[in-house]
Amino acid sequence: MAEVSKGEEGFEFKVSEPERSENGDFFTNAAFSLSRKLKKPPQEVAESLALRLRRGRYTLIERSEAKNGFVNIFLKDSVLISTLEEKISFPKREEKINVEFVSANPTGPLTMANGRGGFYGDVLSNILAKVGYDVTREYYINDAGNQVRLLGESIEAAEGKREVKEEYYQGGYIKELMGKSTEEAIQKLLGEIQSSLEKAGIKFDVWFSEEKNLRETKEFDKTLYDFEKRGLLEKRDGAVWFGDRVFVKSNGDPTYLLIDIAYLRNKLIERKFDKAIIILGADHHAEALQVKKGIAALGIEPGRLKILILQLVRLMSKGEEVRMSKRAGAFVTLDELLEQIPIDVARWFFLEKALSTHMDFDLDLAKEKSEKNPVYYVQYAHTRMASILAKSNLEAKLPTAFGHAAERNLIMKVLRYQDLIEEVSKDYQVHRLTTYAYELAQTFSAFYRDVKVVGSEREAELLYLVSKTKETLADLLSLLEISRPEKM
């Protein structure tokens, strides 16, 4: 956690979590901000702030110290213990959020890369719903336009009815569509996409069709009218232009830019979502900037749209890229990946990296059924907690004090969970959850090594710590939609 605050006189400072417990429960850089104003060295200012905290009537703080210009803050054990009784809860929020993800064209099977955005969007939706937002998960069906025409022509080329072109779709799946009309092919491929998503545990509330929900309802005309009445369109060379971008081609077809803006207008104006979040591939980066410019021209606050760009993913084994697809040709399908590894492992591996980073999916590690595999390491920690609780005949009770540093470290980690969920609901960095889950498992492993629970004099109190940790880890794994085994 790193929370930016403003002091009474307007200077900004951060209160953050240290990486090492000996540097406090929290630390602040306030002395650095103040030192410029006071024209004193940061360490001198930090010592003054630490002294004020020690002498002040701060009921939460046990002690404070200055170190390298930072102020380290240690909370009272009694504060941590009393906080353990509080249940995780979030206020109901009025905002409606539309999360659109995957949205692969129904012109081929889902690829492994689609799984990355799929799992990310699925879990981000879980988080937003948990903190109280009204969330709608949406899949945009691109069932009209140029890519549909190419699919029909690709099938005809496979049938020998037209010459094969480089731009046509390739792969064995095209041969499976021979004899079908373009519409029949779209429906078959869409059904396969839905089946693949169901196998992956990725769910949607709305399947939004370009043909039925944009074209047939005249959403393009409504959007063009909104631009026209603002004097933002110009007709040149038979086409309709918005600045230096074409909205409608000379043949009357809408461009992708107009389609995207009409779709967002439908979300944010017609359907009245307060915010739209879209997860797109890296090849859409330039397009995203134009879309934001377009909705701003319509008077829509750009902050109501958040576009998350995901980078490329490669399947790797023994240091080399794996190409195991027979049906699709040049790419690995999501179904093929899930035939190789369990769904829990796939989810974890896709979720543990930020979308903004290129990803090499380590197939060898993913197949490793030991604690070397991070998802199993975390699940083993959960089973250890369950085993401890099952062995004891006592009823857990709230501790009165900590008997070992490992107990305090464990509870500090547990108590950071609610803040983390809140932060991820704002910054959308879902990978922070897998990082936290692994760190929580590590912290529990240290506790398990250093503190005897069953049979100790403080067994009931220690059981409470184990129970609270298990409750937290189980809640987190449920958000990730990763199973929570009691035995392994």
181 vs 147, 170, 212, CA distance in Å?
A: 14, 17, 18
What homologous superfamily is domain 2-75 in, according to CATH?
Arginyl tRNA synthetase N-terminal domain (3.30.1360.70)
- Homologous superfamily (CATH) of 374-480 is Isoleucyl-tRNA Synthetase; Domain 1 (1.10.730.10)
Q: Which residue has the tokens 């509870």?
A: 411
What is the sign, positive or negative, of the torsion defined by CA atoms of 465, 84, 52, 67? positive
Task: For residue 316, give both structure tokens.
Answer: 């790797």
Strands 313-317 and 359-362, by their bridges, are: parallel
Q: Does the domain spanning 96-310 belong to CATH 3.40.50.620?
A: yes
Q: Which residues contact 123 (CB under 8 A, 6 or more apart)?
A: 347, 351, 430, 433, 479, 480, 481
Q: Which residues of the chain have pLDDT under 70?
A: 1-11, 324-330
**Three-state secondary-structure class, residue 139:** strand
70-104 CB burial, b ≥16 within 10 A, e <16: bbbbbbebeebbeeeeeeeeeeeeeebbbbbbbbb
Pairing, β 320-321 against β 233-236: unpaired
The first and second tokens of residue 407, run together, are: 């107990």
Measured from the Cβ of residue 252, the count of other Cβ atoms closer than 10 Å reads 9
Q: Is the dihedral of CA 256, 108, 366, 348 positive or negative?
A: positive
| Nearest one of 170, 174, 95 to 134, comparing CA atoms | 95
Element (H, E) at 441: helix 431-450
How many alpha carbons lie under 13 Å from residue 320 in its C-beta half-sphere?
4
pLDDT at 10: 54
Give helix then strand counts, H and E, for the chain.
18, 16
Secondary structure percentages of the chain, helix, strand, coil, to 5: 50, 15, 35
What pLDDT, on the 0 to 100 scale, is given for residue 4? 44
Q: Name the pairing type of β-strands 134-141 and 206-209.
A: parallel
| 6 C-beta neighbours (distance < 10 Å), count | 10
The pLDDT assigned to 375 comes to 98
Look at strands 320-321 and 359-362 and give their pairing. unpaired
| Confidence (pLDDT) at 151 | 96
H-type helices in 131-181, by residue range?
146-158, 172-176
Give 74's DSSP letter.
E
The full set of domain ranges for the chain reads 2-75, 96-310, 374-480
Residue 190 token pair: 């869409």
Residue 143 near residue 186 (C-beta atoms within 8 A)? yes
Interval 369-416: pLDDT, tens? 999 999 999 999 999 999 999 999 999 999 999 999 999 999 999 999
CB atoms within 10 A of CB 150: 17
pLDDT for 322:
84
- Amino acid letter, residue 345: V
Name the region of 357 (left: φ>0; alpha: ψ -120 to 50; beta: rest).
Answer: beta
- Position 25 scores a pLDDT of 87
